[in-house]
A and B are shown apart, each in its own frame.
Chain A
Amino acid sequence: MCVLRIKSEKVVSLAESRPAVPVGRSTAGDPIARLKDLDPDAWQDFFNEYYKRMYSFAYVRTGDIEAAEDIAAEVFAAAARGIERYRPTGAPIGAWLYRIARNITADHLEGRRRRPSVSIEGAEIEVESPNWSGQLDERSDLLKSIASLNRDHQEVLILRFFHDCSVTETAKAMGKNEGAVRVLQHRAIVALRRRMETSGKAGRR
């Protein structure tokens, strides 16, 4: 289920958005204010709600368990550093977190591209694309195909089908309009099907 909104989060319009709650003002019941206030319980709930989603998002995009762990942790650390500046825009806070995840994952992949290879026990191994060699089940073919798609196609598939987000929610998370998401989703499915057909896997399911 797509959970972009945390429990009892009130989605406010841009016009209603406001700066951080002043010291001393009650924030009870307002989860965004509690996050801004660095309330440990609110952050624990936020983390519990989203950690696996951020991990799976990063894992599918990188194909690397350890990198996905680092990215997922860094997403929340960045959120903690940036929550004071967070302003509700009408989109649920999960959309903001996904945008952080997109940026950190993109930075990571960019860094990996700049480092063409690493040496592991003397063997030079290319690390330009995700390494799915550890994935022995049939889903590794699907993951490989997803990993070969462009960034927008990967993200729309992850949000729509991994995390079961609606078109509206996906649009907010990706910073696009709903029409663009529908088109993108269609193109992503077509591209994925072609990749699967190329590798002879489509239609077997």
Chain B
Amino acid sequence: MKYEDAFQDCLAGLRRGESLDAVLGRYPEHASRLRQDLLLTGALREVPGSLPSRPGSDQRAWVAVQTALRSQRQARSGRRSPGGGLPGLFGGMTRTALVGGAVAIVAVIALALSTAGGGPDLSEPVSSLIGSSNAEAATFDGVVVDNAGGVLTVQTATSLETVNVAATASINSGGQRLSLPDLAAGQAVSVKGKRLGNGSVAAMSIESQNMAALRDWCSLHADECQKLRDRLEMVVGQCRTSNRPGCQPIELRLRELRDEIAGATGRIDDLKGRCDSGGALACRELKRLCDQYKNLCKSVNQKAPGQKGRY
């Protein structure tokens, strides 16, 4: 028998659990060389378990993968909105996510706490304003920061919106009907309604999003995400102090935001160090990440004088 065939047969035998001597016994004419080569393959098999790696490398890589996935979702979402309008922020999300309740474009965080000042003008019934032909259509995504007395405060990509929710407004999550108190702080939502004369919005429908949508919103609006995190830190602090019920879901969402920001900061920090040491792959990945996390990148750059604006 040819040596190559004998070698293959011995490998198969070892794989089946036969001993080295047993498989070598079948090929006495090649035994000496086979022994050397089979011992070498045995040593090769032991290598992967002993390879060095840095702690947290898989988490850092996962951040990069998530960034790529979000970019893809955005790109697909853009392709599905050829009219030039703003593509839905959650429009490119997976069908699994859609089935699970994630369909919309923006995340909204609502909290059952009162906001300071700037309440809506309710001198006119919301329902009549919705029907007004002069009212401008308003559609946006965001995260609920406050939910008090039929009024939501929603952090969007550009501002804080006051959203009046009439009794007739539909509130849903993946086809399931919700009630207004279900929209707690940290909840991502998509709002459709009409802009009122005082700048607030009268909601006609609100779609509640899942946690993945919150992370995506945070990733796509990194600067606002940081503001949102600060607001939720305050809300959670107040919630704990006053021992109000329903703090836990808000804390969970806050944890998501913290993790998102901390993960991105760690990855940027790590890539920057390697990019500065001449790692071309790290520089490319850093640039990609910094297109998304502009403020975070600025703050990392500030740690290294003379490198400002480089990425």
Residues of A within 8 A of B (CB): 23-28, 34, 37-44, 47, 51-52, 55-56, 59-60, 65-67, 69-74, 76-78, 80-81, 83-84, 104, 108, 111, 115, 118, 120, 134-135, 137, 139, 142-143, 146, 157, 160-164, 167, 182-183, 186, 189, 192-193, 196, 202-203, 205
Contacts and interface: CB of A to CB of B under 8 A. Distances in A.
A51 B7 CA distance: 31
A157 B44 contact: yes
Contacts of B282: 66, 70
Contacts of A42: 94, 96
A64 B264 CA distance: 23
A107 B197 CA distance: 58
A192 B41 CA distance: 10
A37 B280 contact: no
B40 A205 contact: yes
A41 B215 CA distance: 14
Interface of B: 3-4, 7-8, 36-37, 39-48, 50-54, 57-58, 60-62, 64-69, 71-73, 76, 80, 92-97, 212, 274, 277-282, 285, 288
Q: Which of A41, A69, A74, A120 has the most CB of B within 10 A?
A: A69
Contact of B281 (A24, A70, A139, A161): A70
A193 B42 CA distance: 13
Contacts of B73: 38
Nearest to B94: A39
Given A24-B95, A81-B68, A139-B47, 20 more contacts: A23-B95, A25-B95, A37-B94, A38-B93, A40-B97, A43-B69, A56-B47, A69-B53, A70-B285, A73-B60, A73-B61, A73-B64, A76-B65, A77-B288, A80-B65, A134-B52, A160-B41, A162-B47, A189-B41, A205-B42
A47 B65 contact: yes
The dominant DSSP class at the B interface is helix
Contacts of A118: 277-278
B43 A142 contact: yes
Contacts of B51: 55-56, 59-60
Nearest to A55: B53
A161 B39 CA distance: 12
A168 to B, nearest CB: 12
Nearest to A33: B95
Given A38-B92, A69-B54, A80-B69, A162 B64 contact: no
A106 to B, nearest CB: 13
B68 A80 contact: yes
B54 A73 contact: no
Given A38-B69, A84-B72, A189-B41, A55 B57 contact: yes
A83 B92 CA distance: 14
Contact of A38 (B94, B285, B288): B94
A182 B4 contact: yes
B263 to A, nearest CB: 13
Contacts of A40: 66, 69, 94, 96-97, 212
A66 B40 contact: no
B58 A51 contact: yes
B71 to A, nearest CB: 8
A56 B57 CA distance: 12
7 contacts: A59-B51, A65-B57, A69-B57, A72-B61, A139-B46, A157-B44, A161-B45
